[in-house]
Chain A
Amino acid sequence: MLRRNIRLRREYLYRKSLEGKERLLYEKKRKIKEALEEGKPIPTELRNEEAALRQEIDLEDNYTSIPKTHIDDEYANATVRDPKILLTTSRDPSAPLIQFVKELKFVLPNAERMNRGGQVISEIIESCRAHEFTEVILVHEHRGIPDGLIISHLPFGPTAYFGLLNVVTRHDIKDKKAIGTMPEAYPHLILDNFKTKLGERTANILKHLFPVPKPDTKRIVTFANRSDYISFRHHIYEKPGGPKSVELKEIGPRFELRLYQVKLGTMEQSEAQIEWVIRPYMNTTKKRSFIGNEPEPDDKRKRNKA
């Protein structure tokens, strides 16, 4: 285990060091491709290498033409196998928190719930690595209301810290018949308004909690970003009258996520580098949006223009 880790680390560092050269090559190939497509003469600095590069371009396919970055590299092999998730809570959870975690277990396919007991986090993560888990999720609470969510990708992956707001659980809706049972097919995903680099990263983290679905599933999980608050919704849809009509039925819990930290290490690595942290006391925080684009406000100017 140790030796394997060492080897993986060395490979990672080596690939990271190659990035610069690969990027240069990629740029050159891109220029040649453009020149060929537009029918323009090839730029003079590439004339010597043009033949060799053109050969390489011919041999490339979609997969190999994209240069790989070490960012998000953690998810390079994530799609090979289905994700395996472990769900736990903070110590001494209350009954509502346990219920919420149970619901989350149904929402996320391939998830396992575990009682926290008195375990230490580093132990949990070590054992998860040994058992080939891909994610560990921790849920925190305040007096029964869930208020924190920590998603940690496993081999060495990034950890995202979210705050939960406006939580509505299935248990709150007392009428069991109205809500019915929850299907456990792999759901389709909708990720809306994750436009910035940080937004793309967050989208990746959330995306890889779910496995590859079948194209015809009726279950939909939505993560919609509105001014840096990500709304989580869970629906089942039906198309009663032809393909264009869609009927939605909301099942599952509903909450808002607010990202406040992304770390480049797992949960127990306290000295890991912080990729991004929220700055609420910065004067321009109100004007900026970190995860997505703001919708344009309805201006008087616009009305005047029209």
Chain B
Amino acid sequence: MIPSAMANSTETAVESLHHIKSTEPPEWLVPKQELSQAVRAASKLLFSSLKPHCPKSTFDQLLTEGFDAEQIWQQIDLQSQPLLSSLRREVKKFEKHPEEISKFKDGGVGGGEKKKVLEQIETDNVVNDDDDEDDDDMDMDEDEDDEEEEDEEGEEEEKERGTEEESENEGEEKGGIEDKFLKIKELQEYLEEDEAREFGLKKKKTKAESKKEEEDTEEEGDDDEDENEGSVDDDDEAQEEEDGLGLFDGNDEEDEDDLENARYEDFFSRKKNKSSKEKAKSRDMLEEDSGSDDEQDVDKRKNGPSKHEKELDKLRSKIEEMEKANLDPKVWTMRGEVTAAQRQKNSALEVDLDFEHNVRPAPVITEEVTASLEDLIKTRISEGMFDDVQKARTSSSKAPREIKELDESKSKKGLAEVYEEEFVQKTDPASAPLTFSDELKKEASMLFKKLCLKLDALSHFHFTPKPVFEDMSIQTNVPALAMEEVAPMAVSDATMLAPEEVFSGKGDIKEEAELTKAERKRRRANKKRKFKAEAAKRMGKKARQMTTVGNNDEGREG
């Protein structure tokens, strides 16, 4: 490129930059052709000015014609990614060694180097702008933020950068590799530091630094590894990761000298021993509960207890607590049945006792309940449905009394007839006509007697046999004439005695008056004969009776 042309283009680009800076933010909202042209030019300039600082960039210049925003951004991105990492390194270095900044600062205030400073500032601006642009890669569609942020950050970091770079410029400028950013010596120093940290050499650092370094190793460890050692051992990697976690920072047995005399054996054979030792140590640290080892280790450790160790401590203390609790006797709430004597006074009041009540609670008498009851009562009353006690039917123990019915109609019999009946009853009881009630009564009494007989037969031990009923009817041998005189019509002569019943005799039956003399004499003679015969019998009996006693009466009979 022709310097003059370049100078012209840079001037125009700078102008356009200023122009962009001066535009008001609201103007950015509307897409304008001239603004976009200006931006493109400016970014092109910046890109080309940055190009010498990044050896890896693929583009010689930023291609803007015919490309849209996306593509332009990607080009810038390609250039700036490697730059970012180196810049970060530089910043951290300055954080560690703030005295270097002041060195640069002092150096930078010299008068004759104002131009250089200006140039530096411009390049810084460019760098910063680029950085900022790169930083804002995310916001692709927002142009406005970029430039403003760029400018702000640029102003802040100007001086630092300026001083640093100046000193660097003042320092050696070796071949083509080295430039403002990449200084071989610094790189060497840094690498040595890193190695020392990784492989456990003594260096006392603050916690913050160690943490940052750990992070660095994590981030850049791979880069360094890639740069220094081609093939990486599994062991190595593992260890490196562990180192990265900060476990093995406690090993400070080796001297710093060892670093410089580091040989293969140091890394690949001794490391194994170291690792085993370290591992054993770590295991011990984990297993032992005593604090003394911890303290030793803490003292030995380069850094304080790491996160993992802290967690382990916590766990340990928890385990201790729980084991202690297990050995102690249980709290009364965890023992099964506990009476009042087995727990502290009033301790049950403090505990929230909760158990199920299996009983329905007593009913609360609300208005509704009362109203419902009253409704029920009212319905029952209106229906008349009560649950009163019912009178029981008592089985009657007495027979119903005989009710004599008085017949009020006029008697059909005349008075004479009544007297007649009475007379008849007196003289001839059999002939009296039987009354109706008498018949019934008789029948009833008969039935009852039969029944009583049966019952007696069933229930008594002493059985009385059936009584013989002799139906006695009086038979009067009344002469027919007498009967006829009284003359009741219904009388029959069936009740009269038959002639045999009157006299049952044989032969010729004559009365006294009818007998002749001869017959009378004959009867007398018979009578005498009988009488004599009987007398003789009697005498014979007496004689037999009185055999012993002399009889003086023999002569008398005859």
Contact = CB atoms under 8 A, between A and B. Distances in A.
B382 A246 contact: yes
A203 B382 CA distance: 22
A237 B391 CA distance: 24
Most buried by A among B363, B373, B377, B389: B389
Interface in B340-388: 358-360, 362-363, 365, 369, 373-374, 376-378, 380-382, 386-388
A295 B392 CA distance: 33
A81 B203 CA distance: 117
Nearest to A64: B395
A31 B362 CA distance: 46
Contacts of B394: 80
A243 B360 contact: no
Given A190-B380, A286-B358, A211 B365 contact: no
Interface in A176-225: 188-192, 203, 207-208, 210-213, 220, 222, 224
B392 A79 contact: yes
B188 interface: no
Nearest to A207: B389
B377 A189 contact: no
A244 interface: yes
Contacts of A207: 387-389
A231 B386 contact: no
A80 B381 CA distance: 26
Most buried by A among B387, B391, B393: B387
Nearest to A77: B392
Nearest to B381: A246
B392 A227 contact: no
Contact of B376 (A76, A165, A224): A224
Given A80-B394, A166-B365, A233-B373, A189 B387 contact: yes
A262 to B, nearest CB: 18
A229 B389 contact: no
Interface residues on chain A, size class? 35 or more
A41 interface: no
Contacts of B362: 165-166, 229, 256, 258
B382 A189 contact: no
Contacts of B459: none
A80 B386 contact: no
B390 interface: yes
Contact of A222 (B369, B377, B382, B393): B377
A55 B369 CA distance: 53
Given A246-B378, A280-B359, A80 B392 contact: yes
B358 A281 contact: yes
Contact of A190 (B359, B377, B382, B395): B377
Contacts of A191: 387
Interface in A258-306: 258, 280-283, 285-286
Contacts of B381: 220, 237, 246
B390 A79 contact: yes
A139 to B, nearest CB: 19
A213 B387 contact: no
Contact of B358 (A80, A208, A246, A285): A285
A14 interface: no
Contact of B389 (A189, A224, A243, A281): A189
Interface in A158-186: 165-166
Nearest to A226: B363
Contacts of B369: 226, 231
A189 B392 contact: no
A237 B383 CA distance: 13
A8 interface: no
A306 B374 CA distance: 29
A256 B394 CA distance: 36
B360 A228 contact: yes
Contacts of A285: 358-360
A256 B369 CA distance: 12
A235 interface: yes
B393 A189 contact: no
A200 B390 CA distance: 15
B15 to A, nearest CB: 82
Interface of B: 358-360, 362-363, 365, 369, 373-374, 376-378, 380-382, 386-395
Given A63-B393, A188-B386, A190-B377, 6 more contacts: A213-B388, A229-B362, A231-B365, A233-B373, A237-B377, A243-B382
23 contacts: A78-B389, A79-B390, A80-B392, A189-B386, A189-B387, A189-B388, A189-B389, A190-B376, A190-B380, A190-B386, A207-B387, A207-B388, A207-B389, A210-B388, A212-B388, A224-B373, A229-B363, A231-B365, A231-B373, A237-B377, A244-B382, A256-B362, A256-B363
Which 4 pairs across A and B sit closest by C-beta, in order of nearness?
A79-B392, A191-B387, A188-B386, A246-B378
